[in-house]
Structure 1
């Protein structure tokens, strides 16, 4: 058995945003020991080159300085180490990225993912790992606590909110438990036999009782969907609360979340504001990943190769199906109503239909190219790519509806997910590239399953719009498309924010593109009237008619330009779903099976 690899991490200089990290190897490779830092983090499909944040690195062989040669952008190697019993590599890592993907440290808190701070030891990634996490030095940090789902070391009196020594069976497990430290609000709830904790870092006035109550219902429903027991006994939501922010990243027993302060519930809050629904949907999404992608994985991810891109054409199922179930879990658990859910569906459908990229890129292609396109979007993204999250969720919806309607409610996408869980999640066997189609075929049976597996392949490999209006009729749901507003449009999107109205994207075949307006242009005036903001532009356009000519002045770089354009008619790209009045008994039964009673 290989000796365990020992790690130690200390917030050495919080004011300078520096972690000090050591990695100690007993009985290192006598021919020379290699080390590397991951180039990406699972769940975020982009090469991020975390090694660029290493400020200093050194090696000690039996406590004496040792040569450590850099081999490539994220790898190092020592020379031959004959007779060396212990090798330690120490590095200083800069942590100033306030996101769910990397690491962040200041005098108020610390957060890190293992992929940003823990070196992988060549030839030892399957060895047990132990890590000691230290509190920063100084009386001002005496009240800092810590939360992580890493198990504490046996025999060490440390809990999940104490600093100390933790263990992992291998490197893959070590880097899949993020850590939050500092001063945070804590709350916990039980669901499905699992203890759940929430840590809220940052200033907030959250009604934690309401949040725990809603999350408990969502988590319990998801555990019931896949079947108890859940694959974890303890789960943590690590929430960084900021003025404006949104994001999440799944891990095997926790999730790191970034949310806006205004999106959290507050004491006395009435109803369900859109921001809170969005936050609950984010929590639901990341929690569903506990099964779908953390344990039910594409074969391309078993195991992960963290040195390079891991391509798969299946992200439409692992992210798209998860995006379908995240909001569905809200309505099935009773946290939101049916009307709220239908509004969320319409919002997602509208977002997909507003981008012409859906007609050029399939979700299978979008999945494969996530590394270079979806995660590296530019100003032409709406015209060139489709979201495997958003359209993948619509494909899941269409598939679920067809399974239910075609079987008179006897089977559904739920059964497909349970089959994938038993066959792949419980066994650790990766899903082959045609595995989702095979599961649909098996669940639906010889006739329905074969037909829907063929339909699904065409849907994910083609670029056609989905016949959702027709399919939803069987559920007693009406789908209608209307213009988002009465005013004519320029065919462009402005960058968010309250500053100067700058063009973020120009849509294909719109008035702005035909006239020559480009992304990056700053809008100045329409027919001689100043455009001071996005609202000012809207106020000008609402007084005009589609087909009228207009003169638009812009700055491109430092040059004044003028364009004559013909105002376009507002497209019917706002999708509204509603219940069919006086739907038949069969449709109502199917709908209840789909959305719950």
Structure 2
């Protein structure tokens, strides 16, 4: 029988806002008699890279009964305390200056942390209830601060400082905390409260509109997985958004998400019209993506994630399903919930297709291998990434579209990828946190696809998932009345390299394989200073005066050495994919965007 009495408790206090220090106290009522081990996770679920959060622990000590207890460091993540009688207390400080959704950040404007960055794990007692006391900072800058988290309150008012409780360590670290003077609103989606927390300065933020739009997206996704009961898998959900001048990103959790967005992407009451801007659609797509993860990866999981081993890499070849399919459905739910129309949806889809076709890495790495190699390649990208790897997000989304179209065609519209997702939910996700945690294996995914399609999909899987062929979208879209065109501007002269401004000059960040820059010997990192003796501040502007096939002389600095290159200009190779839905014809198959 499991012990339901809290035996693990934490106190976390923002000790010094200017120095970005959290002070954490961990108390273990019943430490292991042979000496208690403590360990901080090396990575955070949803971000597949060893981040070594323990490097931010500044100092650490232990005591029992008011007397010091010796701590021995076992490796870079863990410590062992000598045997001690009675309650054992560990105190430590955490440096928090990572303004991202993955770790912890603290200053005079706000505090944010994921549990993986601040809460030491007590091996052997992870299934016990964990209590955390979040203390209000003793600083005038924090006078109006509140707390936002999906953790249940124990001795605290909602949004207030005080004591919160988690069923176990996994729930504790899967419930990030935001502290600050944030904007707050709540809406209900099929009866479940959803909090919207916005930290950062956003003049004239149109919170009612944001809530109304998110409500439609959330209700559409809840009804998607539970069309009869419309029952959400959580009792409450929190959208936490940190607003910055320029930023984008999100990380999913079981009952919340942490987001970063650009200030200009949020809706304002000062807007003259009510059309959703491109930036706002992008933000809603991010929210849709992270919310879909509530089902797909937080509850429907790869078998190797059930449970996570947070000290080492957890390899799976299935991220194309968990991230790729989520990327497919995020924009799909924008059109299904009425945020964009069908034309807008296919515009976004065409942009995504072009992005995948741009990289030569797609012909060298499958999405299955990309998934498995996420730890060493996708999350550690360098200047050659576009030529060496493929994104399991971006191509995984096209895999989702291709499978959706294939299943619809083979079943004459009776089945779709929607049925695959609902079957995954019913068999592997619905009861994951209700005592029956079980992840899905690659073989089970293959079998389920065959089952839903009513035929063997092995050729599709071998070509496009475990192989490197491009999904034949033009062929697959045709029966659904969607015209596919590649209208790349091949007559426009180009270096075929990604270039950013570097002061008055231009810096090469990526050289695409087989392009003009590659053939001339230009490399990533080179700073272009002149093209045919004219300063290379505006490369596109200079090249517009030439035609494809012309040769130009490029001067560039590589490190501190001036180099000269003779470049024969090629036509622009950036795919210009347009997808145009045609008027529906009688008997035509139903499009994936249809509700």
Normalization by structure 1: what TM-score? 0.95
Match of 1:55 among 58, 64, 83: 58
Alpha-carbon contact 1:399-1:456 (below 8 Å) kept:
no
Question: In 2, Cα distance between the equivalents of 1:477 and 1:419?
Answer: 28
Matched, 1:34 2:37: yes
Question: In 2, Cα distance between the equivalents of 1:8 and 1:185?
Answer: 26
Counterpart for residue 562 of structure 1: 564
Cα deviation, residue 572, structure 1: 5.8
Question: In 1, Cα distance between the equivalents of 2:501 and 2:90?
Answer: 44
Cα deviation, residue 586, structure 1: 2.2
Matched, 1:438 2:436: no
Counterpart for residue 17 of structure 2: 14
Counterpart for residue 590 of structure 1: 590
Cα deviation, residue 208, structure 1: 1.0
Alpha-carbon contact 1:437-1:457 (below 8 Å) kept:
no
* Structure 1: gaps (5+ residues): none
Q: Which one is further off, 549-558 or 479-488? A: 479-488
Question: In 2, Cα distance between the equivalents of 1:219 and 1:486?
Answer: 45
Question: In 2, Cα distance between the equivalents of 1:573 and 1:123?
Answer: 54
Counterpart for residue 409 of structure 1: 413
Distance 1:412 1:54, change over 3 A: same
Distance 1:50 1:335, change over 3 A: same
Q: Which one is further off, 401-410 or 472-481? A: 401-410
Matched, 1:338 2:342: yes
Counterpart for residue 178 of structure 1: 176
Counterpart for residue 219 of structure 2: 220
Match of 2:231 among 229, 232, 237: 229
- Find the residue that maps to 1:120 and give its secondary structure: coil
Question: In 2, Cα distance between the equivalents of 1:186 and 1:422?
Answer: 34
- Find the residue that maps to 2:518 and give its secondary structure: helix
Listed as ranges, the matches of 1:268-417 within 5 Å are 268=271, 269-417=273-421
Cα deviation, residue 484, structure 1: 4.5
Question: In 2, Cα distance between the equivalents of 1:429 and 1:141?
Answer: 43
Equivalenced residue count is: 581
Counterpart for residue 71 of structure 1: 74
User: What do residues 53-93 of structure 1 show as CA deviations (whole Å, max 9, x unaligned)?
Assistant: 00010001222111001110010001233xx1100111000
Counterpart for residue 434 of structure 2: none
Question: In 1, Cα distance between the equivalents of 2:241 and 2:274?
Answer: 23
Question: In 1, Cα distance between the equivalents of 2:470 and 2:458?
Answer: 17
RMSD: 1.4
User: What do residues 512-552 of structure 1 show as CA deviations (whole Å, max 9, x unaligned)?
Assistant: 111111110001111111111xxx11111111111111100
Q: Which one is further off, 121-130 or 487-496? A: 487-496
Match of 1:461 among 458, 466, 478: 466
Question: In 2, Cα distance between the equivalents of 1:238 and 1:572?
Answer: 36
Distance 1:497 1:201, change over 3 A: farther
Cα deviation, residue 500, structure 1: 3.9
Alpha-carbon contact 1:125-1:170 (below 8 Å) kept:
yes
- Find the residue that maps to 1:560 and give its secondary structure: strand
Counterpart for residue 521 of structure 2: 516
Cα deviation, residue 574, structure 1: 1.1
Distance 1:211 1:485, change over 3 A: farther
Question: In 2, Cα distance between the equivalents of 1:572 and 1:168?
Answer: 49
Counterpart for residue 258 of structure 2: 256
User: What do residues 245-291 of structure 1 show as CA deviations (whole Å, max 9, x unaligned)?
Assistant: 00000000000000000011112344222111110000000000000
Question: In 2, Cα distance between the equivalents of 1:293 and 1:500?
Answer: 44
Question: In 2, Cα distance between the equivalents of 1:140 and 1:488?
Answer: 54
- Find the residue that maps to 1:15 and give its secondary structure: coil
Alpha-carbon contact 1:7-1:132 (below 8 Å) kept:
yes
Question: In 1, Cα distance between the equivalents of 2:267 and 2:361?
Answer: 36
Counterpart for residue 83 of structure 2: 80
Alpha-carbon contact 1:486-1:542 (below 8 Å) kept:
no
- Find the residue that maps to 1:393 and give its secondary structure: helix
Cα deviation, residue 210, structure 1: 1.2
* Structure 2: gaps (5+ residues): 432-436
Question: In 2, Cα distance between the equivalents of 1:258 and 1:320?
Answer: 20
Match of 1:419 among 416, 420, 423: 423
Q: Which one is further off, 483-492 or 509-518? A: 483-492
Alpha-carbon contact 2:505-2:535 (below 8 Å) kept:
no
Cα deviation, residue 441, structure 1: 1.3
Listed as ranges, the matches of 1:82-121 within 5 Å are 84-121=85-122
Question: In 2, Cα distance between the equivalents of 1:462 and 1:496?
Answer: 37
- Find the residue that maps to 1:347 and give its secondary structure: helix
Cα deviation, residue 103, structure 1: 0.3
- Find the residue that maps to 1:327 and give its secondary structure: helix
- Find the residue that maps to 2:475 and give its secondary structure: helix
Distance 1:420 1:373, change over 3 A: same
Listed as ranges, the matches of 1:496-515 within 5 Å are 500-515=505-520
Counterpart for residue 125 of structure 2: 124
Question: In 2, Cα distance between the equivalents of 1:516 and 1:372?
Answer: 27
Cα deviation, residue 109, structure 1: 0.6
Cα deviation, residue 485, structure 1: 6.9
- Find the residue that maps to 1:382 and give its secondary structure: helix
Counterpart for residue 542 of structure 1: 544
User: What do residues 114-163 of structure 1 show as CA deviations (whole Å, max 9, x unaligned)?
Assistant: 0000000121111111100000013442321111000011xx3x233001
